[in-house]
Amino acid sequence: MVLCCCGLGVSLELRESELKLLKTLIELGGKATITALAQKMGVHESATYTPLMLLIDKGLVSMRERTDRLLKCTDEGRKCAEKGLPEERLLKALKRLGGKSEVSIVLEEACIAEEEVDAALGWAKKRGLIKLSSVEGKRFIEIVKEVEEVEEGKILKDICAKGTVEEYEYRNLLNVVSILIDRGLLEVEERKEREVEVTSLGLEVAEKAKPTLTKLNADIIRKGIWRHYSLQPYDVKAKPPKLYPGKKHPYLEFLEELKEILLAMGFEEAMGPYVEYEFWNFDALFQAQNHPAREVHDSFFIAYPREGAIDADQDYIEKVKEEHERGWGYKWDLSIARRYVMRSQTTAVSIRFLAQHKKPPIKMFCLSKVFRPDVVDAKHSVEFHQLDGIVGDHVINFKHLLGILAAIAKELGFEAIKFVPSYFPFTEPSVEGFVKHPKLGWIECLGAGLFRPEVLRPLNIDFQVIAWGIGVDRLAMIKLGINDIRDLHTMRLDKLRGAFRG
């Protein structure tokens, strides 16, 4: 139910919860804390927030925040409240001893601990209650002013008895409270409290508000009850709230789309380790051990363990060695091949697959991460995805390679693709592929070719194998319409909700 208030120079609609809160506030004298208001209404404080904010927006209630200082006794304060302050116990003991005695005797009579001596003598002397003197090397203490009770002790007992009190209650004794705080007998806890107050408009509205129906049912319509109420107007042009249902990250969706394309074309997916032997990452691909790509600035080397035993047949390793020494004309070093690196190309997975699958036909792809040292910026990253693929058969040729790559590009939505001659250590002939970007023009995105005989001979493979490696992140940037490679992994909701075209 909504309550309508008209004829006040304004037109306001109050929900039942708003009117209830408004009237409760008036019952409390027109001003109260939210805590007191909730207690009076018999609800949790959180239940007052929505109607309260609505009343504030309508100018019917105002709210201010105040900070209350609460006083409570410390553990030491409770002990002193129970036994008395050290100076109080000192005075009582001295009185029992006739008003004057040796300091050591008084302290023993008062049961004052060693750590309390300074406080007992210091505070009693500071207030002019005692005087100290020395006679023949002995220290004496004497009462000079008798009091029934030290003021600090009285206040301390009062606060400890109450548990927690507002500092405001002792506003006329703040100097005493301050001393107790400095002595570590009281502690202060600050509590923020919000106080609400009804405005003059709120008082007027609470008096004249009339009920308005927001919901109709068959009984209300049949009995004509609705005629005694005004109906709440609705804005039929109001836009519904935007909904943001959960969905996959656009980049992950792109990777899945790419996988589905290859699987639909009859390819088998293969995976390999991130930490790879140089043998599989370079040597098996006829990449010379002195090749620049194998330098520290182009590969991540593992510090520990630095090397391991190559997981390949000894006969295969020997044949790879022979190909290197015959083809490159240097002495091949097994210790280099044994070193661990972070995989710098998924072609390492392709050659591992060939070593286990030597009978045609072969159709394999690997979509996974590779790692290369670089300066991270909008176009470069040290970790990115690469798509490697191979097809092997007796009837396969270079034209098949170009056709497969064109088909993949078309499935991804790239209508234009072109190839130019290139060079790669493990393929011959070799090409680079470019796709057409509507704004940036031709973008290089892949390298491809036929595996060289030096790669296939150690495996005893006598048929052609076409191979390619695609820079997936670059394709994803084009497909998703972004200009910064770091945005491929963004967790920012504003970008994920609207910035990606894909």
Please, are residues 336 and 289 in contact by the beta-carbon 8 Å criterion? yes
CA–chain centroid gap for 375, Å, is 26
Closest by Cα among 466, 498, 456 to 480: 498
Cis amide leading into 245 (omega within 30): no
CA distance linking residue 393 with residue 402, whole number of Å: 16
Q: Binding site annotation covers 301?
A: no
Q: Which tokens hold the place of 477? A: 């940037």
Q: Binding site annotation covers 387?
A: yes
Q: Binding site annotation covers 428?
A: yes
Q: Please, what sign has the CA dihedral across residues 336, 338, 343, 346?
A: positive
Q: Binding site annotation covers 269?
A: no
CA distance linking residue 142 with residue 101, whole number of Å: 7
Please name every residue paired with 2 in a beta bridge, in sequence order, or none if there are none. Answer: 15, 212
Q: Binding site annotation covers 388?
A: yes
What is the edge-to-edge ordering of all strands in the sheet holding 61-73?
31-33, 186-198, 61-73, 164-166
Q: Binding site annotation covers 374?
A: no
CA distance linking residue 191 with residue 165, whole number of Å: 12
CA–chain centroid gap for 187, Å, is 35
Q: Binding site annotation covers 463?
A: no
Please, are residues 171 and 83 in contact by the beta-carbon 8 Å criterion? no
Q: Please, what sign has the CA dihedral across residues 173, 176, 179, 184?
A: negative
Long-range contacts of 376-381 (CB under 8 A, 24+ apart): 376/486, 378/483, 378/484, 378/485, 378/486, 379/485, 380/485, 381/473, 381/485, 381/486
Q: Which tokens hold the place of 5? A: 């208030």
Please, are residues 32 and 177 in contact by the beta-carbon 8 Å criterion? no
List the binding residues for Mg(2+): 428
List the binding residues for L-phenylalanine: 347, 386-388, 426, 451
List the binding residues: 347, 386-388, 426, 428, 451
